[in-house]
Amino acid sequence: MWTFFWYPDGTTDPWATWYKKQDARVKGAHDRCIDFLKVREVHEWRIPYSDKLETYDGIYEIRIKTKVQHRLLGAFSPGRQFVILLSCTHKDEVYDPKDALNTAERRLKEVKNGTVTPIQCEPP
């Protein structure tokens, strides 16, 4: 099984905070996606549930497919750990917020440098 972490957002459980804001369709798609990923090995994380972002070193997206495509951008850490750097939406190669990919890249550097400590979270 995987251990998940989330970049801090000022709450005690950033993943639960994000999840509570979503509608039933997003929650259902999220649950299916995470249930699939959390029992897989790294090399089994693949489309349609996740994908490596080729132009952003080490950043992957967890794909939550609903009418509005949600993405959890993150990175793998040693020991079957995944750090979610931020959540966003995606449509036609455009992310919302528009700077989501650059923000994920900056946050990954902060985590790797030890200037930010992600919060361990269980998937809701």
* Cα 90 from Cα 11, distance rounded (Å): 24
Angle at 32 between CA 37 and CA 71, to 5 degrees: 70
CATH T-level topology, domain 3-121:
YaeB-like fold (3.30.2310)
φ, ψ at 89 (rounded to 5°): -115, 165
Amino acid at 26: V
Name residues of the chain where pLDDT drops below 50: none
* Cα 74 from Cα 52, distance rounded (Å): 10
